[in-house]
Homo-oligomer: A and B are copies of this chain.
């Protein structure tokens, strides 16, 4: 279902809330945007509005920075991750129909998670969504 994706990308949170949720400073958050690690939406009046996805991403960024990775590295990681998730989509589409999409997705995700440390953190998604029902 893609309604989930829509909900998760809905711009809801002002920077103040995001600061508390992520324990990042406004400066840090804006800096990461400047380096195109996130692209929060804007209100009519130009104030940033963040989605759940944005917040997940910020928590990921925090992790990666703790691991000593710099902006360029993180950007690259996100690119690779996106490619992979596209690959997964393709694989899933032409999959044998005796496995449900759900099952297949799990298999592929699992595979990726256990192949090379690059993906560990980038696929460990859903940090913030734990806050929600």
Contact = CB atoms under 8 A, between A and B. Distances in A.
How many copies, total? 2
Interface string A49-62: 10010000000000
B43 A8 contact: no
A11 to B, nearest CB: 8
Contacts of A73: none
A7 B131 contact: yes
Interface of A: 4, 7-8, 10, 12-14, 16-17, 21, 43, 49, 52, 126, 129-133
Contacts of A13: 12-13, 17
Query: 8 closest A-B pairs (Cβ-Cβ)?
Result: A132-B132, A129-B133, A7-B131, A12-B17, A14-B14, A132-B133, A7-B132, A8-B133
